[in-house]
């Protein structure tokens, strides 16, 4: 019996790079960061969770405190800016079909004494199955903490992302990445995910 295939045989696009991240060195100004700090100060902390077990939390896998910054008129300008950064990065790099922003911004603090997040991907099951692109914004000055590096495993050795305050790092949600343990100070950041229907 002969097997027939129906794959599209159009030429493959060569301007897509699925093995690289994109970043903006000054995505947010100093004044905007002060405003964000004020906006997050009134929000309630909770433990950072994972999808690793039924409780959603394993302390030796992830140790951090988070706040959820839900969409509202107060936060509209932040969501708009993140959306524009993501769309520029996606058009430049990956050209995914992005159609939705279903989750809230997650503000995170990693504390001195081992605050960290082990190797993980941002996509998975449940609501995570619609994630295609992740963005993280550095909120702390780099000299206020040691450790706490955002690292990607894109080859044989980890690669460190930018640490400067106000920088935004954007990457496909299937990238393996981690935050190394904080040994001094506090690392503050926030993340957001966008996506849509499954890859096709």
Domain spans, the chain: 22-48+61-195
Cβ-based neighbours of 79, under 8 Å, separated by 6 or more:
71, 101, 105, 192
Confidence class for position 198, pLDDT limits 50, 70, 90: confident
For the whole prediction, is pTM greater than 0.85?
yes
Nearest to 47 by CA among 115, 141, 136, 145: 115
Cβ-based neighbours of 171, under 8 Å, separated by 6 or more:
21, 22, 133, 134, 152, 177
Residue 21 confidence (pLDDT) above 90: yes
What was the pLDDT predicted at 61? 87
Tokens 């996506």 locate to: 195
Check if the beta carbon of residue 85 is closer than 8 Å to that of residue 134: no
pLDDT digits (tens, 9 = 90+) for 51-110: 544 444 556 789 999 999 999 999 999 999 999 999 999 999 999 999 999 999 999 999
Q: 106 — phi, psi (to 5°)?
A: -110, 110
The rounded distance, in Å, linking the Cα atoms of 169 and 160 is 11
pLDDT digits (tens, 9 = 90+) for 105-124: 999 999 999 899 999 999 99
Confidence class for position 5, pLDDT limits 50, 70, 90: low
Q: Cα dihedral sign for 166, 27, 32, 190?
A: negative
Share of the chain above pLDDT 90, in %: 78
CATH 2.60.120.620 matches 22-48+61-195: yes
What was the pLDDT predicted at 59? 61
pLDDT digits (tens, 9 = 90+) for 116-158: 999 999 999 988 999 999 999 999 999 999 999 999 999 999 9
Give 169: exposed, middle or buried? Use CB within 10 Å, 0-12, 13-18, 19+. buried
Residue 14 confidence (pLDDT) above 80: no
């Amino acid at each position: 019996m002969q097997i027939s295939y129906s794959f599209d045989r159009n030429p493959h696009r060569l301007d897509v790079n699925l093995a690289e991240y994109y970043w903006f060195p000054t995505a947010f100004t100093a004044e905007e960061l002060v405003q964000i700090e004020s906006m997050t100060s009134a929000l309630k902390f909770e433990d950072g969770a994972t999808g690793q077990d039924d409780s959603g939390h394993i302390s030796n896998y992830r140790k951090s405190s988070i706040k959820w910054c839900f969409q509202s008129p107060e936060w509209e300008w932040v969501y708009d800016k993140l959306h524009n950064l993501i769309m520029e990065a996606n058009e430049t790099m990956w050209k995914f079909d992005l159609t939705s922003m279903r989750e809230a911004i997650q503000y995170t603090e990693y504390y001195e004494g081992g605050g960290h997040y082990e190797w993980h991907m941002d996509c998975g099951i449940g609501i995570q199955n619609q994630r295609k692109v992740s963005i993280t914004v550095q909120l702390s000055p780099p000299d206020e903490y040691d450790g706490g590096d955002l690292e990607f495993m894109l080859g044989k050795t980890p690669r460190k992302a930018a640490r400067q305050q106000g920088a935004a790092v954007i990457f496909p949600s299937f990238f393996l990445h981690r935050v190394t343990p904080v040994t001094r100070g506090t690392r503050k950041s926030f993340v957001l995910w966008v996506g849509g229907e499954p890859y096709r």
